């Protein structure tokens, strides 16, 4: 008998948050595997599925699963908001003392949850699963991901653990802190790092997707990188100022040189090609700088609108969630 049982404390409540976007082929297998793991753990649990505007039969599958199990909550968003926001919706509706975030495609093996949980019991607030390998992904994707994590770490003000994704466990206090960050441009990996607290890595091997297709492509990855960089660093703006400064300095020296040369040798009216080259170069630098400023400006624009992060079409809570709320009422 463990300590808790002896003191007749209730078991901790573990919430597992799963974003779902067109995963009809994965949901049943995911649910079975995850349920088996959770049933074997010394916890009460709920699985919070967030249907992020799926256009296939994912929602029907989720409703069927919930009809069978009391431990399942389903949040149906009004449209597709993207994974980061779907996750946030799930986290907002999770009742647990600790929360696990996991993908539905079984790339993150649920068998790791007991290990994450054990580290939480050791007292860690942010237990992140760290990939030792990624199978089923192209060499190109692995290389770009590798480069991305290293660049973002160099330039962002918080250090973001290498080779970690969203798969992790958060304590209640880390989650509460995370919920205070309501920015629309959500680079989650950065937000977990920003929140702080004690983090620890649990290594694992990333598996290939069991079915369906990843919705990621290089354009999305590029945008994610931009999001990461602009949300966590103003370095690009600073680089632009330095480029401007250096270019002006060079122009000044060149101006002096022209004056001196004209005085010494007269003016033979040459230099048309170099003139054109300079104008084009400067034009390019200016447009690039405007583009970079624009990236930041656009984000400021979006944030100032102050819209809610997501709209919930329907929320079917789990039994654990309802119990927790009733408990709150009784305490009042």
The burial class, CB within 10 Å (0-12 / 13-18 / 19+), for 47 is buried
Q: Does 86 engage in binding with ligand UDP (CB under 6 A)?
A: yes
DSSP strand pairing (164-171 vs 312-316)? unpaired
| Chosen from Mg ion, ligand UDP, none, partner binding at 153 (C-beta under 5 to 8 Å by type) | none
Report helix, strand or coil for 164: strand
Q: State which residue, 218 or 245, has the beta carbon closest to Mg ion.
A: 218
| Binding of ligand UDP by 107 (CB under 6 A) | yes
Q: Which of 95, 270, 70 is nearest to 172 (CA)?
A: 95
Residue 112 contact partner, candidates ligand UDP, Mg ion, none, CB within 5 to 8 A by sort of partner: none
Among 12, 23, 97, 168, binds ligand UDP (CB under 6 A): 23
Pattern 213-252, ligand UDP, x by CB under 6 A: -xxx------------------------------------
Nearest to 160 by CA among 136, 131, 194, 126: 194
Binding site partner of 188, from Mg ion, ligand UDP, none, Cβ cut-off 5-8 A by kind:
none
| CA dihedral for 35, 41, 46, 49, sign (positive or negative) | negative
Q: Of 89 and 127, which CB lies nearer to ligand UDP in the complex structure? A: 89
- β-bridge pairing 44-51 and 72-77: parallel
> From residue 176, how far is each of 179, 182, 192 by CA, in Å?
5, 12, 11
172 binds, among Mg ion, ligand UDP, none (CB under 5 to 8 A by kind): none
Q: Which does 106 bind (CB under 5 to 8 A by kind): Mg ion, ligand UDP, none?
A: none
Nearer residue to ligand UDP within complex by CB, 20 or 191: 20
Q: How far apart are CA 66 and CA 239, in angstroms?
A: 52
What does 216 bind: ligand UDP, Mg ion, none (CB cut-off 5 to 8 Å by kind)?
ligand UDP
Q: Which of 147, 45, 28 is nearest to 98 (CA)?
A: 45
How far out from the chain centre does Cα 140 lie? 21
The C-alpha torsion from 174 through 175 and 179 to 181, rounded to 10°, is 40
| Segment 180 to 209, residues that bind ligand UDP, using CB under 6 A | none
The closest of 192, 202, 190, 207 to 130, measured between CA atoms, is 202
Stretches 75-83, 125-133, 143-151, 249-257: which one binds ligand UDP (CB under 6 A)?
75-83
Q: Which of 12, 13, 15, 21 lies at the binding interface for ligand UDP (CB under 6 A)?
A: 21
Q: Which member of 63, 80, 231, 233 binds ligand UDP (CB under 6 A)?
A: 80
Question: Nearest approach, Cβ of 208 to Mg ion (angstroms)?
Answer: 9
In the bound complex, what is the minimum distance in angstroms from residue 137's beta carbon to ligand UDP?
Answer: 8
Structure tokens at 213: 């297709």
Which residue, 256, 257, 254, is CA-closest to 246? 254
Name which of 82 and 236 has its Cβ closer to ligand UDP.
Answer: 82
Q: Which positions lie near ligand UDP, rule CB under 6 A?
A: 19-21, 23, 52, 80, 82-83, 86, 103-105, 107, 214-216
């Amino acid at each position: 008998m463990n300590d808790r049982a002896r003191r007749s404390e209730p078991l901790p409540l573990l919430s597992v948050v799963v974003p779902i976007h067109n995963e009809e082929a994965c949901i049943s297998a995911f649910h079975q595997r995850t349920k088996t793991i959770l049933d074997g753990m010394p916890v009460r649990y709920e699985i919070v599925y967030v249907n992020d505007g799926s256009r296939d039969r994912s929602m029907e599958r989720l409703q069927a699963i919930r009809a069978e199990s009391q431990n399942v909550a389903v949040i149906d968003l009004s449209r597709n908001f993207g994974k980061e926001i779907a996750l946030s919706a799930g986290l907002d509706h999770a009742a647990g003392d600790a929360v696990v975030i996991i993908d539905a495609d079984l790339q993150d093996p649920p068998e790791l949850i007991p290990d994450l949980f054990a580290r939480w019991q050791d007292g860690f607030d942010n237990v992140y699963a760290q990939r030792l390998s990624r199978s089923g992904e192209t060499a190109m994707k692995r290389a770009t991901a590798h480069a991305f994590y290293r660049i973002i770490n160099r330039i962002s003000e918080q250090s973001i653990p290498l080779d970690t994704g969203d798969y992790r466990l958060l304590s209640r206090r880390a989650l509460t802190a995370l919920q205070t960050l309501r920015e629309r441009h959500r680079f989650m990996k950065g937000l977990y790092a920003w929140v702080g607290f004690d983090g620890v890595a649990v290594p694992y091997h990333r598996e290939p997707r069991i079915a369906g297709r990843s919705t990621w492509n290089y354009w999305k990855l590029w945008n994610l990188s931009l999001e990461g960089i602009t949300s966590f660093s103003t370095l690009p703006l600073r680089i632009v100022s330095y480029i401007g400064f250096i270019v002006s300095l060079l122009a000044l020296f060149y101006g002096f040189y022209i004056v001196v040369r004209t005085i010494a040798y007269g003016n033979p009216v040459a230099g048309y090609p170099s003139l054109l080259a300079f104008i084009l170069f400067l034009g390019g630098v200016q447009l690039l700088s405007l583009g970079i400023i624009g990236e930041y400006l656009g984000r400021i624009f979006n944030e100032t609108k102050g819209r809610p992060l997501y709209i919930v079409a329907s929320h079917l809570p789990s039994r654990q969630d309802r119990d927790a709320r009733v408990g709150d009422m009784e305490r009042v």
